[in-house]
Amino acid sequence: AQSVSQHNHHVILSEAASLELGCNYSYGGTVNLFWYVQYPGQHLQLLLKYFSGDPLVKGIKGFEAEFIKSKFSFNLRKPSVQWSDTAEYFCAVKAGTALIFGKGTTLSVSS
């Protein structure tokens, strides 16, 4: 069955620390991958997406993700987090026209 697994439920970091959020997917078709973010009180926003080509994808606000086909992974990274990155992060794979989401990872950044 198609699924997305996010390894960490809650991550707590200090400002300037590096971030890596894990995402593994299970899907047999052509892979389109996404990371969405939901800041407190706001709606889901697209951080970045992978369709094809360069497996290292750069998104908004200094985030990037690397698609590793052999590991079925699409981990999200940021070299130095800020307090404003406190949010919930969702990894998703596109199956047909629907998005299949992971359970989300809550990131708390302390200043």
Please report, as ranges, the residues that interact with other proteins according to CB under 8 A.
4, 32, 34, 36, 42-46, 49, 51, 90, 94, 96-104
User: Do 103 and 88 meet the contact criterion of CB atoms below 8 Å apart?
Assistant: no
User: Do 86 and 63 meet the contact criterion of CB atoms below 8 Å apart?
Assistant: no
Residue 111 Cβ vs other proteins, minimum distance, rounded to whole Å? 27
Beta-sheet pairing, 23-26 with 3-6: antiparallel
Residue pointed to by tokens 């629907």: 98
For other proteins, the closer of residues 16 and 60 by Cβ is: 60
For other proteins, the closer of residues 9 and 70 by Cβ is: 9
Residue 16 Cβ vs other proteins, minimum distance, rounded to whole Å? 30
For other proteins, the closer of residues 43 and 69 by Cβ is: 43
Residue 5 Cβ vs other proteins, minimum distance, rounded to whole Å? 10
Residue 43, token pair as written in the block: 């709606």
For other proteins, the closer of residues 78 and 94 by Cβ is: 94
Q: Spell 60-71 as b/e; 16+ CB within 10 A means b.
A: eeebbbbbeeee
